[in-house]
Amino acid sequence: MADVNRRIVLAARPEGAPRETDFRLEQGPIPRPGPGQFLIRNLYLSLDPYQRGRMNPSWRYGRGLEIGDTMIGGTVGEVIESNHPAYRKGEIVEGLLGWQEYALHDGLGERANYGLGLTRIDPARGPLSTALGVNGMPGETAYFSIIEAARPKPGDTVVVTGAAGAVGSLAGQIAKLFGARVVGLAGSDAKVDYLVNELGFDVGINYKTAPDLMQAIRAACPDRIDVYYDNVGGPIADMMFRWLNRHSRIVIVGRIAQYNDAKMRTMPDVFSQIMLARASVIGFVVYDYDHRTEEARNRMARWVKEGKIRYAETIAKGIERAPEAFLSMLTGGNTGKQLVQLYPPP
């Protein structure tokens, strides 16, 4: 075992898009567990768009980080030393232990609302990395937002943005399991090919190269949109509002196009469009479903084992690569879940 704990801290608040100089690698001694504590070696770190928001002084749902704080992030790790009666050496736990290699825990705390509690991971569910992706928070987000908010019916046209990412790729596949026709938007031809030829989406659109995106959306959805699954906000969401079907549903899951620009406004007449379509808008935050975590994780793991859901991971190696991988994820460098492997799984 290396004798230092390396971590990434917030060095500066980004103005607009974050840069590598907004982060700093620090190192210190590996903490030693006191009475009732245990030491965790983090194996995988999850990089997520919400972490961009936490770099601001305040964030819509959750406090902002202070300069010098360890970056917030979900982790899967192994208990390597324990003075706690309920946590044994070798157990695998998932929690919000941040962008660092080692962390102490006392086994207390809730999971809800970015709480610091831990969840034990059953390795039989799948590779440990999946506890941060398809069998973790992104999988839960996709599962509950589709079954509880979007509620697609057979034949519905569901449009998913951020479609090749961790949440969108799963949400689109779950909608297909419910018989929907699914159109995905993503930022490269390779991603569009992945959506259509590997995940079974009906149509894929490269939103960066389509000569007339509104026209491409109309062509892909001749019967208009029954469910708009919004991962991105911004001007793309505006276009979807212009092509809604009567009694459509809009599920607002994320607004990544707006995370670097707090002042970005969507079109002023969006409510007219909602009225004309008699549409429903549903705001979704996965933490409302914390009491049903096990249901989602078991269902996603089963679908993966049955071959009904496929997932991808983009994995950087080493804590020092986390800032670069984070910036890459924010600008579309990932397909599926962006992770950093800190140590090889046992």
Ligand X SMILES: NC(=O)c1ccc[n+]([C@@H]2O[C@H](COP(=O)([O-])OP(=O)(O)OC[C@H]3O[C@@H](n4cnc5c(N)ncnc54)[C@H](OP(=O)(O)O)[C@@H]3O)[C@@H](O)[C@H]2O)c1
| Contact footprint for ligand X (CB under 6 A) | 48-50, 138, 141, 162, 164-168, 186-188, 191, 231-232, 234, 236, 253-257, 284-286, 329-330, 332, 334, 338
Q: Which is nearer to ligand X, 86 or 264 (CB)?
A: 264
Q: Which is nearer to ligand X, 40 or 253 (CB)?
A: 253
CB of 102 to ligand X, least distance (A): 25
CB of 32 to ligand X, least distance (A): 34
Q: CA angle, corner 135, sides to 117 and 116, nearest 5?
A: 10
- Residue 325: phi and psi, rounded to 5, are -70, -35
Cβ contacts of 294 within 8 Å, gap of 6 or more: none
Q: Which is nearer to ligand X, 79 or 199 (CB)?
A: 199
Distances (CA, A) of 126 to 90, 175, 280, 301: 17, 22, 36, 7
Q: Which is nearer to ligand X, 106 or 148 (CB)?
A: 148
Q: Which is nearer to ligand X, 24 or 50 (CB)?
A: 50
CB of 27 to ligand X, least distance (A): 28
- Residue 167: phi and psi, rounded to 5, are -80, -50
CB of 234 to ligand X, least distance (A): 6
Would you state the structure tokens that stand for residue 13, as one six-digit string?
């608040």
The region that residue 179 occupies, defined by phi over 0 for left and psi between -120 and 50 for alpha, beta otherwise, is left
The closest of 146, 308, 162 to 226, measured between CA atoms, is 146
CB neighbour class for 206 (10 Å; exposed up to 12, middle 13-18, buried from 19): middle
163, 170 contact by CB (below 8 A): no
CB of 283 to ligand X, least distance (A): 8
Q: Which is nearer to ligand X, 223 or 288 (CB)?
A: 288
Q: Which is nearer to ligand X, 9 or 166 (CB)?
A: 166
CB of 210 to ligand X, least distance (A): 12
Q: Which is nearer to ligand X, 30 or 327 (CB)?
A: 327
Q: CA angle, corner 80, sides to 77 and 84, nearest 5?
A: 100
CB of 267 to ligand X, least distance (A): 16
Q: Please give the distance of CA 154 from its chain centroid, rounded to a whole number.
A: 26
Q: Where are the beta strands (DSSP E) in 194-296?
A: 203-206, 225-230, 244-252, 280-283
CB of 313 to ligand X, least distance (A): 10
Would you state the structure tokens that stand for residue 238, as one six-digit string?
């505006």
Running DSSP on this structure, what letter comes out for residue 178? T
55, 14 contact by CB (below 8 A): yes
In the chain, where does DSSP find H-type helix? 50-54, 137-144, 166-177, 189-193, 213-220, 234-241, 270-277, 293-305, 322-330
Q: Which is nearer to ligand X, 26 or 238 (CB)?
A: 238
CB of 188 to ligand X, least distance (A): 6
